[in-house]
Amino acid sequence: MKEKIKNFFEDVVKEMKKVTWPTKAELFESTKIVIVVCIILAGFAYIIDMLISQVMKGIF
């Protein structure tokens, strides 16, 4: 059992050495894209909510 655990962590270390981490600039660009998309989706949800609210006020 201890050997399996040891092998697992050795494999984890080997795999983590293969990972290519993003540069600071790439991370910054990705973050900007995520923030912009979140703002756009929030605006879309707000508009849809307002439209549905107006329709519901008109019905009731």
The number of distinct structural domains making up the chain is 1
Give this prediction's pTM: 0.66
Q: What is the pLDDT of residues 19-54, one digit of tens each?
A: 999 999 999 999 999 999 999 999 999 999 999 999
Strands (E) across the chain are located at none
Which residues are CB-contacts of 22 (< 8 A; sequence separation ≥ 6)? 30
Sign (positive/negative) of CA torsion 23, 27, 33, 36? negative
Q: Quick check: is 14 in a domain?
A: no
Structural domain harbouring 46? 20-60
Q: Quick check: is 9 in a domain?
A: no
Q: Quick check: is 12 in a domain?
A: no
